[in-house]
Amino acid sequence: MVPLLVRLLAASALLLVASMPARSVEWIYLQGPLGLQRLSVRLSELASPEALWEGDSDLAQLNRATDGRYARALETLLSSPLPLQQELDNPMVQQLELLLKSLLQPRSNSLPEAAAAATTTTSSLPVLRRLASSGVPITLMSVLQAMPGNERTIRLDQALPLLRRMSAQHDEVDQLLATLQAMPSANQESLSSGSLKVQRRTFQLASGLEVTLVRPLGVPRLPTVVISHGLWDAPESFLGWADHLASHGAVVLLPRHRGSDIDQQAAMLAGLVPPPEPQEFLRRPREIKLVLDALEARDLPGVADAPVRDVVLIGHSWGATTALQLAGARSLPAPIWRACEGLEDSSRNPSWVLQCSLIQAATDQSLLDERLSRVVAVSPPQALVFAAGLQDLSIPVLVVSGSRDLVVPAQPEAVAPFRAYPGDRHRLVLVQDGTHFNLPSPAGADGGPLRALLLDWLEEQPISAASAVSDPSGLRLFSVR
């Protein structure tokens, strides 16, 4: 999600293109913190590593002094394709524009006041359509070339408080982990594949929903599992989890959420569709319910022997948010939602780009599905969208978060909201050095660092600091409660 988030942020620069004279940007300035001297670079010097090496700007000289390190990084950033939005009123784009405007601005004396104000105009759809129809790849470089005015300043001094806030959030988690003992190592039986052979197939429900089935050869002995993938992801990223659980006796079903999967991302980057709409927030739970309906009606091929009750739902990232909805969490209006209008809130983090876009589809209706017996929420964006509704959780939830997750940081999105979980049936596990991407497990992997933990939760084993679920050769797990 991080590379895509950066691309979307850069793409929202398109929203600042106004109907002004087509005098393109020539100079970029990097404004440092504490009044430090700005670094200059000509836009033409950013055309290639060679151009920057031969340049005479501040950044060109710094690049030569660091043996080309800046050139390699800038080339990747500037040449990345950007998702050209067809719909400019998409809430996700609005959140990115808010952040962009605080970090990118014209030099105060480079444009007349009226012209500078015009650069914040969001009515740039004609320009975007021309760019989309030109056939030229849309990159950050082409955006900068199209922007009006002579100069742009990238406000690193404004970015610094955001980085400090994220650093403080990670420090809090590190301090918490320092007070805890790592969970003991799992036995080899839990870490290794089970004794059952596994088969896979993909099919479509009558509704058109695509589902991947991973099941053991033999009679299932564990509850049925449904796995919901995250934003711009796919079932394939979780086949390692599915293979491990199926080899131990579980039928696993992995629906593909077409409105926000990896194919939707590709179409968006090609300029064919906008980012996922807020209604996807309600569509995803409905798709899980369709899977449960088909399971209960015995309409799924090859799973006539799968248990239809006490299903365990596992979700990652946005899929974890979906899992919490189906466990009973409600998206009730909360005062904190007003923080979406600014950047100052101490809990703000990258996942708010998604969460702030979802609250437009929020509903006080409970989506609880009583066919579920347990839920696993791995790296869940939840603190904002469920700010007032976590007390409605009715199914035991296992929350898992990585201490180095930059996309959905553990402190504001797992540790803090977990305090609102009702009762003592829920559990929170932190993974030291876990990120947003190293907790899932794709096909061909060993099931990843969570494989023994997921198996224990599926078998309704009690989870505590004494639970033997860690991989001795992998990341360390810590039980917070």
pLDDT band (50, 70, 90) for residue 84:
very low
Cα diameter, the chain:
75
Interatomic CA distance for residues 238 and 461, integer angstroms:
22
The answer to which of 2-6, 149-153, 208-212, 303-307 has the lowest mean pLDDT is 2-6
3-state secondary structure (DSSP) of residue 47: helix
Strand-pair category, 477-479 with 427-431: antiparallel
pLDDT band (50, 70, 90) for residue 289:
very high
Other C-beta atoms closer than 10 Å to the C-beta of 89 total 10
Interatomic CA distance for residues 397 and 392, integer angstroms:
12
Sign of the CA dihedral with 217 first, then 221, 223, and 227 last: negative
Interatomic CA distance for residues 400 and 406, integer angstroms:
15
Kindly state which CATH superfamily the domain 180-479 is placed in. Answer: Alpha/Beta hydrolase fold, catalytic domain (3.40.50.1820)
Q: DSSP secondary-structure letter at 78?
A: H
Whole-number Cα distances in Å, 151 to 51, 119, 145, 154, 273: 19, 12, 11, 10, 31
Helix (H) or strand (E) holding 315: strand 311-316
Interatomic CA distance for residues 368 and 412, integer angstroms:
24
Burial 384-402 (b: 16+ CB within 10 A, else e): bbbbbbbebbbbbbbbbbb
**Structure-token match 């998702």, residue found:** 83
Q: DSSP secondary-structure letter at 367?
A: -
Q: Which two tokens stand for residue 355?
A: 């969460």
pLDDT digits (tens, 9 = 90+) for 128-184: 445 455 665 555 565 556 555 566 666 655 555 666 777 788 899 999 999 999 999
**The length of the chain, given as a count of residues:** 481
Interatomic CA distance for residues 170 and 172, integer angstroms:
5
Q: Which two tokens stand for residue 232?
A: 């711009």
How high is the pLDDT of residue 297?
94
Burial of 317 (0-12, 13-18, 19+ CB in 10 A): buried
Interatomic CA distance for residues 478 and 379, integer angstroms:
15
pLDDT band (50, 70, 90) for residue 71:
low
**Structure-token match 């300029």, residue found:** 271
Q: Residue 389's closest CA among 358, 411, 410, 348?
A: 358
Q: DSSP secondary-structure letter at 379?
A: S
Interatomic CA distance for residues 413 and 246, integer angstroms:
30
Q: Which two tokens stand for residue 45?
A: 């010097």
Q: Which residues, other chains included, contact 316 with Cβ-Cβ below 8 Å and sequence gap of 6+?
A: 227, 228, 229, 230, 233, 237, 238, 378, 379, 439, 440
Bridge partners for 185 per DSSP = 470
Q: Which two tokens stand for residue 227?
A: 């796995």
DSSP helix, strand, coil percent of the chain (3-state; round to 5): 40, 15, 45
pLDDT digits (tens, 9 = 90+) for 364-392: 999 999 999 999 999 999 999 999 999 99
Residues of the chain with CATH 3.40.50.1820: 180-479
| Whether pLDDT at 230 is above 50 | yes
pLDDT digits (tens, 9 = 90+) for 408-459: 999 999 999 999 999 999 999 999 999 898 999 998 888 999 999 999 999 9
How high is the pLDDT of residue 134?
62
Burial 279-313 (b: 16+ CB within 10 A, else e): ebbbbbbebbebbbebbeeeebeebeebbbeebbb
How high is the pLDDT of residue 448?
93
The answer to which of 104-113, 209-218, 435-444 has the lowest mean pLDDT is 104-113
3-state secondary structure (DSSP) of residue 228: strand
Burial 93-110 (b: 16+ CB within 10 A, else e): bbbbbbbbbbbbbbbeeb
